Chain A
Amino acid sequence: MTPTEKQSKLKCMRCGHEYTTSDDLIKVERACPKCRSNSVRRVGEKK
């Protein structure tokens, strides 16, 4: 899935899982949907 408007692309620094979300990345706690790790990094620019 490619990030659409207001969506951000994230990558888990623990399991490598990549996903997109429309959550506010600063206010909402990031957690990898696959492994629940909080080591989730924003990759690419927010559109």
Chain B
Amino acid sequence: MKDVGRHPRIKLMTLSEVEDVSGYVGNFNVKVRRKARYVREADCTACGECATVCPVNKYNEYEVGLATRNAIYIPFPQSIPSSYVINMADCLSKDVITCNKCVEKCQKRCIDFDMRDEIVELKVGAVVVATGMDVYDPTRLDEYGYTRFQNVVTSLELERLINAGGPTGGHLVRPGDTKAPKRIGFIQCVGSRSHNRGNPYCSNICCMVTIKNSLLIKEHYPDTEITVFYIDIRAFGKGFEDLYERSKREGVRYVRGLPEHIEEDPSTGSLRLKVENTTAGCIEEHELDMVVLAVGLEARKDGDKIRHLLSLSQTSDGFLAESHPKLMPVDAPTRGVFLAGCVESPKDIKDSVTQASAAAARAGVILSSDKIKLDAAIAVVDKEKCTFCELCVQVCPYSAISASKQNKIAAHVTEAMCAGCGSCAAECAFGAISLRHFEDAQYMAQIEAALAENPQDTAIVFACNWCSYAAADLTGTSRLQYPPNIRIIRTMCSARVNEKFVMQAFKLGAPVVLVSGCHLADCHYMAANRSTVKRMDRLWSRLERLGIRPERLQLEWMSAAEGQKFARVMAELDERRSKVTPEEIEQTRKALEAADKKKVA
């Protein structure tokens, strides 16, 4: 932190909030609100005299409520800049200066109640999002009595209790009576790995935090009996298994099973719990002096703001999604934005530092180059045809298109922001937008070629480049068999499949058509395949209105690893194809031609 604070080319803006981000890779404009500190950073020497006279006592966030702080305080001992700050919401001089004790005490005269928030505008080439995570709030899972029993603490509270710089000076005491606990129980997976309560994912760090804390306690208080209640111990990092084995050698007992609830003996403050030891196959009762809940990590509650500002996407667990889990693990889907740390997924310090280093290096690539190479496949607007309807603006997952219906301003694509999914081209009913190298005419030609011979024996499959098409590849390389009369047409995204492609295939005699893409949460273009979902609903309704069986149009999501699913879906599609009669195909053709004529008239 100090190195960052002192670095001549790093501008550290603490107590600041990003209010707006506009622009694109290499040209971001960031608006930052620098909140008033009410203490001049440059003058404050952090002597702490001001805090000694402050009469206010408030919840100390850093000490997770195990200590109090004043209204003027230093957030934590190593904070950078090393300067005090006034929380004006807590200060007695909030509206009218009534107290003024800190001002009188400060010899350097660095307290300034007239300080106001200021807006700073920055021009940056790349953005690294490292906004961290929240800790699971165990009050939501109260069978462990966190809100009722003082001697039930979270792993974060225990961290402070055993820290030499913590409120007890590193002496482990239980909060109920400040006595040293002799029997401590750790309950794992609190708020993690549960579909019913808390979060369904593993929080990654809790097992090792518990093992580390159990060893620390054993080192300082060797007589303490420690029991860990767990589902699985996940010690998968470098040296982690050794640490786990060491804790067992030190006498930490591991019981496979989670207690159902905790009861307290009010006279002693001891805690009783019953657990099914699934390894031994028996019910055990434990009496403990203190219970530590190994709480999990979750996405920040205020994370949506930064997500919207930077047009990022999130996974179902609420963390921000990376561009590609294997090939671009630190790149956000928006070009020029990178992710580091727990904002992407729960991870430990080592992994966070690794990811941050990678993100900095990736950002450095952009900053060190004069020009940025873009993919050739990007959207192009024919302004003559644009009717300013703004539909393209609404479907673009990257906010790369601007247009105004009100001011009659034709659509404009910011090329550096366009990723080339083609949602806009598929959505535009007037053919005003096309995707370079994946144009409508090219698709129409492919459909025509695929159905040139024996169309009644052919099934048309639109497969997205990243998942379904890769699944087809896997099917081939795995030597899995699927019917030879399937014709695959590659699109960059399933959202590129225009309604007219499907209608053209039916018009040319295709018995069945399948649209396939990445699983909904895995879309390579953030959430572009949600446009596919909406379009499919529209297409099914339209087919029905035209008297065409909607069942002839199918939709399947498959990942690049689902070669077997691809083969199975193709076999089923062919079976469905075989049931479509030549009469039905002819009837479809006539219905579509009549609809076309009606449209022209």
Contacts and interface: CB of A to CB of B under 8 A. Distances in A.
Interface of A: 13-14, 16, 25-30, 37-42
B520 A13 contact: no
B544 to A, nearest CB: 9
B556 A29 contact: no
Interface in B193-234: none
A38 B556 contact: yes
Identify whether the interface residues of A are mostly helix, strand, loop, or mixed.
loop
A40 B554 CA distance: 9
B521 A29 contact: yes
Contacts of B487: none
B555 A39 contact: yes
A25 B557 CA distance: 15
Interface in B456-491: none
B546 interface: no
Given A13-B551, A41-B537, A41-B540, A28 B572 contact: no
Nearest to B515: A39
Given A13-B550, A14-B572, A41-B550, A29 B519 contact: yes
B530 A13 contact: no
Nearest to A31: B557
B153 interface: no
A41 B520 CA distance: 15
Given A13-B550, A14-B572, A27-B530, A42 B537 contact: yes
B550 A26 contact: no
Interface in B316-363: none
A30 to B, nearest CB: 7
Question: Considering residues A25, A26, A30, A38, which has the most beta carbons from chain B within 10 angstroms of its beta carbon?
Answer: A38
Contacts of A28: 520
Interface residues of B, number: 17
Pairs A-B, 3 closest by C-beta atoms: A29-B520, A39-B554, A41-B540
B553 interface: yes
Contacts of B555: 13, 38-40
Contacts of B553: 13, 39
Given A28-B520, A29-B519, A14 B554 contact: yes
B521 A13 contact: no
A26 B529 CA distance: 9
Contact of B540 (A13, A14, A37, A38): A13
A41 to B, nearest CB: 5
Contacts of B572: 14
B579 interface: no
A16 B550 CA distance: 11
B534 A38 contact: no
Interface in B526-584: 530, 533-534, 536-537, 540, 550-551, 553-557, 572
Contacts of B556: 37-39
B517 to A, nearest CB: 9
B570 to A, nearest CB: 13
A16 B549 CA distance: 12
Contacts of A13: 540, 550-551, 553-555
Given A13-B551, A26-B530, 11 more contacts: A13-B554, A25-B533, A26-B533, A27-B530, A29-B520, A29-B557, A30-B533, A37-B556, A38-B556, A38-B557, A39-B551
